[in-house]
Structure 1
């Protein structure tokens, strides 16, 4: 190793358990927005489209990511959505003005079509109900339509639509970003809390086995945060299982060192919401722990700076199509690392979104589907980050950024999959100019040897992928050594690293 390199150490031990990783933290999100549905997952006439019009090339990329759960159908869209418009014979479905994004919704894809697509993609669905323009009645009817086996009006209507077996959707969102002034049917905390409680109560009478997500603040920057969480949870605590968090980050100032430190803000956000949940738990003398559903998160700012104007009242226009660069992938990696370090409370998370709209997967109309830079850390975490999250003891040099102090250059999470006999070290080197010499103490994992060291790196932080060229993609790192219970490696400057170790056979 280079003797002059900055040095960092971490200690990993089986006893430093945070929690079992809920696979649903690798979830995603598809909203009826832009080209996420129309021109994204669904494009009749495309060379790869199946009989129902869904693109098989896109579905293959989703399956590669192994996405366990997908939030649907919104997002802001859901607050003006009449779910009945999206069921029954397609030719009889109405076209509607979609007010959240000022487009036309043709309703060619609705509940049953999406549920069928999700099953084929290997994903469960987190269904959202409209608590903007609608409420208790529409929510309980949708649940009956989806989950009741038969013999009632709504369940038999589903069966008449060709879906004999109930969808059995387990997880349901009680509205979306209801404190946002942009939201159709925006509500005060008390208004939302009362409505969400009564809606959840009715839904549980229909199906006691569902999980419910109470709507949190639209972001930690909202003036309502965290009072919104405290007031709404005071109403919904007994009926909900999770509270939602939403957060996006950008680099509008082109300050990369500050941008890569944004996950420290994410850390603070999670801790604040956790503390608020525990305050309500104590106030109610409850035995139940409220968990977190981080059901919108990503980097999002490139498309906000675009001068492209979208004509209103069109179908599937190209909205919010961020073209992600290499440094965006690094922050996405750090955000995933942060979720893993909080696996005891963060049980679900949805990268927003999955296709075309601020997404890891992009498509060309009639053409290729391709991987953005952020595809890769998401892929690696979903593939190798399943097991038990362990708390690493980290000693790293630090730096100060514009908005943050004492930012460790090394950002790391550890996952142990005992069943597979694998140990994975996820690490981001935030240093923009220098490699970081890492020495990891894994003596508690006797007999583990190096399987591979995957690295995502590029000399240009602004490098992007295109349909014609994958400029940013993972490679195998050289020089990593595992010997005498230590992993010794040099983490390249500004890099995402996945160090995989495997227990030797017979041990």
Structure 2
């Protein structure tokens, strides 16, 4: 991170106000809100986290430079192994001696899976990067028997067939995986073993029941509809939850955004859609709970979210030229600066909904629609790495809902979109962190913030990401084209803060309690 004393000049200046108080609490943020996702696809695993022939790897084949970048994110949980891959995957193929593991066709991505990297390797890697495992079980071609066996293999201490097999395979102590996904996107026609809401709801209920009989300490995530714009959306949640509401702990949401028409104002407003999606799923969950007269509040796992569209055409060519290949360059989006701005707004949206969204996974983590990219000789952070890192580092504590007044705009799909997208976090010591995006391409925002309810605060730092070219990217040759800078600011005076938020920028403003 570099220091910058003067804010960039823009053509216009508009005013915005923000009022915040300790009593404006939303919820305590669950650390798992800053999770991520690794699918057995493309170069996410092979040549991503696992590359045994690379001199940059350790004795286990794990890329050390990747481990370093991942650890800086402080990711608390990583979902694995899929994704669409999951619905044709037999977890048993991925354990035991490597030379005995079968190579199989992956019908999700039309590649060949060698199973050289599996459950043991992933759990070992998770320890290396100081994260926990969120493991998913196949409900496409398989079902509750394989699911309960996976829990027994991973979590039971010993004395049973599956737990003793784990010990025989080198893991004497249980992996102690506490969070499990029951399938993936099961209403999607692209899914291996697509299900109706009735079929999936009944299967998920029975799977959750027996998985918890094996280990009562686990939590499970049921599949919500694959997307907000699916024809099955809504009806799927209502019928599916009729059958499994009592035995599951979370409902999943997945959402990716695109800018295929090169419309930056409309693209940057798409976090508004994300917010509506979350609130709709909350309403659906509560409707089922109300119908059942249940005291239980079902929360959400937004376990796939990101920008995804840059690689779509390239992927078609890669698949056409590499029939059943391995470690193909799939889903390798190169993210630009406007992508980072939307990711920042999506993080703000998750924090604003942290009363019901308890788990979220940026999809994915390495090489495939990822904040981290690798080549044979290096790895580097994409633009979206930085807002994700800032949210993970400074977004833990109590989420607060500021009262924001901002100029607004309308775009192709959205009306009355505020230029200023902002939220705040109060840490356990009484300090404050603001996250803010200015969506305007033309106007800086002169922000006046009323923070008198917090007593005397001391300015710590203002982290800024800004670039004149919204299409600018980080590459292997130029990995620092877009990186955060620190800019000057000042302490609030009598609880009132005045600060400039540059046009098209991501901002993190941090204040600590002044004990003097």
- What range is the shorter-chain TM-score in? over 0.9
Q: 3-state SS of the aligned residue for 1:309?
A: helix
- Counterpart CA distance in 2 for 1:308 and 1:497 is 38
Q: Which residue of 2 aligns with 1:347?
A: 358
Q: Which residue of 2 aligns with 1:451?
A: 460
Q: 3-state SS of the aligned residue for 1:483?
A: coil
Q: 3-state SS of the aligned residue for 1:444?
A: helix
- Counterpart CA distance in 2 for 1:225 and 1:93 is 38
C-alpha contact (below 8 Å) 1:481/1:489 kept by paired residues: no
Q: Which residue of 2 aligns with 1:229?
A: 237
What's the CA shift for 1:449? 1.1
**What 5-or-longer segments of structure 1 have no aligned partner?**
none
- Check if 1:305 corresponds to 2:313: yes
Q: Where do residues 78-157 of structure 1 align in structure 2 (5 Å cutoff)?
A: 78-157=86-165
What's the CA shift for 1:50? 0.8
- Counterpart CA distance in 2 for 1:305 and 1:354 is 21
C-alpha contact (below 8 Å) 1:453/1:480 kept by paired residues: no
Q: Where do residues 45-444 of structure 1 align in structure 2 (5 Å cutoff)?
A: 45-306=53-314, 308-310=317-319, 311-364=322-375, 366-419=376-429, 421-444=430-453
Q: Which residue of 2 aligns with 1:460?
A: 469
C-alpha contact (below 8 Å) 2:70/2:129 kept by paired residues: yes
- Counterpart CA distance in 2 for 1:312 and 1:387 is 48
- Counterpart CA distance in 1 for 2:270 and 2:287 is 26
Q: 3-state SS of the aligned residue for 2:453?
A: coil
Q: 3-state SS of the aligned residue for 2:387?
A: helix
2:30 maps to which of 22, 25, 34: 22
Q: 3-state SS of the aligned residue for 1:302?
A: coil
1:175-213 superposed Cα distances (whole Å, 9 cap, x missing partner): 000000000000000000011111111111101111010
- Counterpart CA distance in 2 for 1:46 and 1:72 is 23
C-alpha contact (below 8 Å) 1:80/1:130 kept by paired residues: yes
What's the CA shift for 1:70? 0.2
Q: Which residue of 1 aligns with 2:504?
A: 494
What's the CA shift for 1:5? 1.5
Q: 3-state SS of the aligned residue for 2:54?
A: coil
- Counterpart CA distance in 2 for 1:335 and 1:312 is 36
- Check if 1:9 corresponds to 2:17: yes
What's the CA shift for 1:308? 3.3
1:210-263 superposed Cα distances (whole Å, 9 cap, x missing partner): 101010011101100111111111111000010000000010000000000000
TM-score of the superposed pair, with normalisation by structure 2: 0.96
Q: 3-state SS of the aligned residue for 2:164?
A: helix
Runs ≥4 residues deviating over 6 A? 1-4
Q: 3-state SS of the aligned residue for 2:452?
A: coil
Q: 3-state SS of the aligned residue for 1:205?
A: helix
- Counterpart CA distance in 1 for 2:497 and 2:458 is 9
Q: 3-state SS of the aligned residue for 2:157?
A: coil
Q: Which residue of 1 aligns with 2:4?
A: none
1:460-501 superposed Cα distances (whole Å, 9 cap, x missing partner): 000000112111110012345522212211111000000000
C-alpha contact (below 8 Å) 2:461/2:511 kept by paired residues: yes
What's the CA shift for 1:312? 2.1
- Counterpart CA distance in 1 for 2:36 and 2:214 is 27
Over aligned residue pairs, what C-alpha RMSD do you find? 1.3
- Counterpart CA distance in 2 for 1:217 and 1:487 is 43
What's the CA shift for 1:305? 3.4
- Counterpart CA distance in 1 for 2:167 and 2:476 is 41
